[in-house]
Structure 1
Amino acid sequence: MVHELLGINNNRIDLSRVPGISKDLREVVLSAENDEFYANNMHLNFAEIGSNIKNLMEDFQKKKPKEQQKLESIADMKAFVENYPQFKKMSGTVSKHVTVVGELSRLVSERNLLEVSEVEQELACQNDHSSALQNVKRLLQNPRVTEFDAARLVMLYALHYERHSSNSLPGLMMDLRNKGVSEKYRKLVSAVIEYGGKRVRGSDLFSPKDAVAITKQFLKGLKGVENVYTQHQPFLHETLDHLIKGKLKENLYPYLGPSTLRDRPQDIIVFIIGGATYEEALTVYNLNRTTPGVRIVLGGTTVHNTKSFLDEVLASGLHSRSKETSQVTSRSASRR
């Protein structure tokens, strides 16, 4: 989330544009090696981190009974850090994390990201086309949703429902135009399909075909999920799970050695040319934690967020080849 909204470059976050930021916090470092709080919380979600910061502050207040202050929001936490330099000195880096979480909270509210993220999860993890289309169209009408977020929603819709019998991409493209989304982002919708659409994908990212996967998805739908914002698991999770269980398809993942993999691998090195993501890093962390006897290392040429990934798509030249497609889409929408 930090990398997606603020950007992390060599463990550094540029906070210089944050309203009212102090000089010593214009650039902060997130490093598990030198930051105990970050090391203990780096794999937790947004709400859990906020709760842990609050607990730390409340523990400090118990030691200083005269310095009681309500801590019911991120704003309260920021005010607490500013008002009590003793805590700032004692806590070391916690004030930095209060600032980062505070800025994340501001952006989430300003850009309506709770609703946007919930619909993104629905697009990635569910198969209800009617509901997905209705929710995307609703958010495209919301003035708080930025052109970047609007385009990303349409990209996810386009990738998932590319060949659906009721595909409404032309209409959504017209909605983007009416919303004032720049041509750059509208072109990217077609470019992303060309980059990762069904025609070029080696596996189906959205609709499981085998009976076990379909059953799991069905049961998950019946039970619901504890957190609608963390439903998605990257495709790497399924790939590694199959590798550990000896179920990888040889035609997709050829290997050297015996004709069959009899023993479960103990050391697995994954290197993704083109870039990995922090979500994939979390998947590897969880698999290492829950699979005794297996050690997985993840590497890549970069660590992507949406912006850096789309920049690469632009640099690939796909956007120029998709110009004609974009124009055809617009004309089709106009005829409708």
Structure 2
Amino acid sequence: MVFDVVTSAAEYVRKIVEGCSGLKALLTDDETLSMIGLVYSQLEAYNKGVFLIEKLDTPRSEQMKHMKCLVFVRPNSTNLNILQRELASPKFGEYHIFFSNIVRKTLLEELADSDTSEVVNEVQEYFLDFYAVAPQLFHLNVLPCVLSASVENPILERLVDGISSLFLALKMRPFIRYDAHSQLCRFICERLSVRMDQENTLFDFRRRESNPVVLILDRMQDPLTPLITPWTYEAMIHELIGIKNNRVNLRHSPDARKGYQEVVLDPKQDGFYNVNRYKNYGDLGVNIKSLVDRFQEKARYNHSTSTIEDMMKFLEAYPELRSSSSEVNKHVTLMSELSRLVTSRHLMDVAQLEQDIACRNSLTEHQNQLFKMLQNPHIHIEDKFRLSLIYALRYEEVTQNRLGEIKDTLKKLGLSAERLQLFSSILRYGGNASRTSDIFQNKSILGIVRNTVRRGIVGVENVFAQHVPLIVHIIDDIMKGRLRETEFPFMIPPSGKNVPKEIIIFITGGVTYQESRAVALINGDSQTESEPEISAAANFAQSNGFRVILGGSTVHNSKSFLAEVSRVAYPWK
């Protein structure tokens, strides 16, 4: 069975679009439009007869009886009301209605009562209620995502809807484990367990060779990874510019030419991005140059049109040349903007200290370097602030940490009182008293050994890749059967020993592209030689047939993560 969120999502969209012949219109809501757009292009839909794509709530007066209407929406009361109005005065010849998740019986009855013209041809449940970003990554576009475990909270119900939809899309009923120190994680798991019991027939899938497992983890266990500057292509773009539904807004970039002020990063359509999305910053410069050189060779080859034969060859190659030109311009523009930001913000200097604080315990040295960085007028205030938060997380319990002086210095530099409050918020959210994880690899004997080995192996060439996200160690522990049940209990323990070959990790509070990259490397979807811990986990996973999917409430960069942390009033326990 396929263990790939993009393939599963795209298959549902294909069934919707290709399920009937003739001229078609596709009506969606805001969420389902984005879900479709991540896995299926407008051109693909057009080639299958979809000539109109609109929101369900768009006012329509024109009669289009010659077209079949495909409706794909979430099964909620808002969409039901709009559908009822549409069916009361149908504009299309027939309707094929697809809901993105389990539909309540009462909703179906109300919908049937509204179809007085008998134009509804079919109603189906297609379980695409999540955003499939990469084969190993999905999110639910849920903000705020730092939540209280309340039965009345509709956002929590959205998390349960999305995760259960993924189970159904992958045709699995996994064992459920959760972060024992998070009420939120336990609440989600309880609701997932109830959902699967209530819909027992839907979740009655053929048994697999090994039972899959889902682990619901709280972001508070690793508040460090979202704060660390990433140095790989996709993660850098999201951190420094921002990615939303595969789109990057470059309108504020001084080097973005007309036509490239918003670009799309679609690995299916963009070969360079597909190959390089997980590559580090140093390799990207070399690969961009190769891309430009290859394009120049093509352009020179097609330049001569002195004969009819030359003209014919040029016209045959022109679509490919134009596509190559667009790809080259897009990635040169992106790399130019990344380079500008890295240089203007002196991010290499900042990141080197970030990595050292994250991976090594040296209070006096780090204090001296941090105060020197705070006094540097060329470093952006937000980078000084983020660096100080990383320092605070490591040294919060050390008496001589001088956090008061650090905050006073930032205040004098112009940091607002609201931002300064984040020191308290992040320590309440993910400080030592709240988390049980060993993110600095200095609590457990295993962590200390890992950190010592890492420092012994890591060289100058990958000084920006020393920090390893917590999920790498968690995945390694799951694969080797050593993830402690006292820390991560099962909702219903399996009978006998169960080492799952298929692992889903869902992080309430959001994931990062850097964590997604680590999972892709573990799955063997990309290669790394300079990150020994990830390489070791990848070798073990691929030798023993493990696959991992990562999901989260949203995909964070440091800015969005700190915006969520600012909501925190009390630690999760």
TM-score normalised to structure 2 length: 0.50
Query: CA–CA distance in 2 between the matches of 1:253 and 1:192?
Result: 23
Q: Which amino acid letter does the alignment assign opposite residue 257 of structure 1? A: P
Query: CA–CA distance in 2 between the matches of 1:215 and 1:301?
Result: 32
| Rg (Cα) greater in structure | 2
Q: Which amino acid letter does the alignment assign opposite residue 301 of structure 1? A: S
Q: Quote the offset at 1:209 in angstroms.
A: 3.2
Gaps of 5+ in 2: 1-235, 302-319, 525-537
Query: CA–CA distance in 2 between the matches of 1:165 and 1:230?
Result: 30
Q: 1:199-231 CA distances to partner (integer Å, 9 max, x unpaired)?
A: 111223113333343223223323443311111
Aligned to 1:195: 429
Larger relative strand fraction: 2
Aligned to 2:331: 97
Larger relative helix fraction: 1
CA RMSD of the aligned region, Å?
2.2
Q: Which amino acid letter does the alignment assign opposite residue 566 of structure 2? A: L
Aligned to 1:12: 247
Q: Which amino acid letter does the alignment assign opposite residue 281 of structure 1? A: S
Aligned to 2:445: 211
Query: CA–CA distance in 2 between the matches of 1:137 and 1:32?
Result: 42
Equivalence map 1:44-63=2 (5 Å): 44-61=279-296
Alignment partner of 1:32 out of 257, 264, 267 = 267
What SS does structure 2 have at the residue aligned with 1:119? helix
Alignment partner of 1:280 out of 490, 515, 534 = 515
Query: CA–CA distance in 2 between the matches of 1:176 and 1:133?
Result: 14
Residues 26, 62 of structure 1: CA spacing in aligned structure 2 closer, same or farther, 3 A cutoff? closer
Residues 20, 234 of structure 1: CA spacing in aligned structure 2 closer, same or farther, 3 A cutoff? closer
RCO comparison, higher one (Cα < 8 Å, 6+) = 2
Aligned to 2:493: 257
Aligned to 2:548: 296
Q: Quote the offset at 1:57 in angstroms.
A: 2.1
Residues 316, 217 of structure 1: CA spacing in aligned structure 2 closer, same or farther, 3 A cutoff? closer
Equivalence map 1:124-203=2 (5 Å): 124-203=358-437
Q: Quote the offset at 1:165 in angstroms.
A: 3.6
What SS does structure 1 have at the residue aligned with 2:424? helix
Q: Quote the offset at 1:19 in angstroms.
A: 1.0
Aligned to 1:83: none
Equivalence map 1:74-113=2 (5 Å): 90-113=324-347
Query: CA–CA distance in 1 between the matches of 2:415 and 2:438?
Result: 29
Aligned to 2:100: none
Q: 1:173-208 CA distances to partner (integer Å, 9 max, x unpaired)?
A: 111122222222211122111111111112231133
Q: Which amino acid letter does the alignment assign opposite residue 368 of structure 2? A: Q
Residues 65, 20 of structure 1: CA spacing in aligned structure 2 closer, same or farther, 3 A cutoff? closer
How many residues end up aligned between the 2 structures?
Answer: 300
Query: CA–CA distance in 2 between the matches of 1:59 and 1:34?
Result: 18
Q: 1:4-62 CA distances to partner (integer Å, 9 max, x unpaired)?
A: 10011111111001114222011111111221110100011112112101112233445
Aligned to 1:312: 564
Query: CA–CA distance in 2 between the matches of 1:209 and 1:295?
Result: 29
Residues 26, 311 of structure 1: CA spacing in aligned structure 2 closer, same or farther, 3 A cutoff? same
Does 53-62 or 263-272 show the bigger shift? 53-62
What SS does structure 2 have at the residue aligned with 1:23? coil
Does 105-114 or 121-130 show the bigger shift? 121-130
Query: CA–CA distance in 1 between the matches of 2:282 and 2:332?
Result: 13
Q: 1:92-126 CA distances to partner (integer Å, 9 max, x unpaired)?
A: 41210110110010011111111011111111111
Q: Quote the offset at 1:90 in angstroms.
A: 3.3
**Identical residues among aligned pairs (%):** 39
What SS does structure 1 have at the residue aligned with 2:566? helix
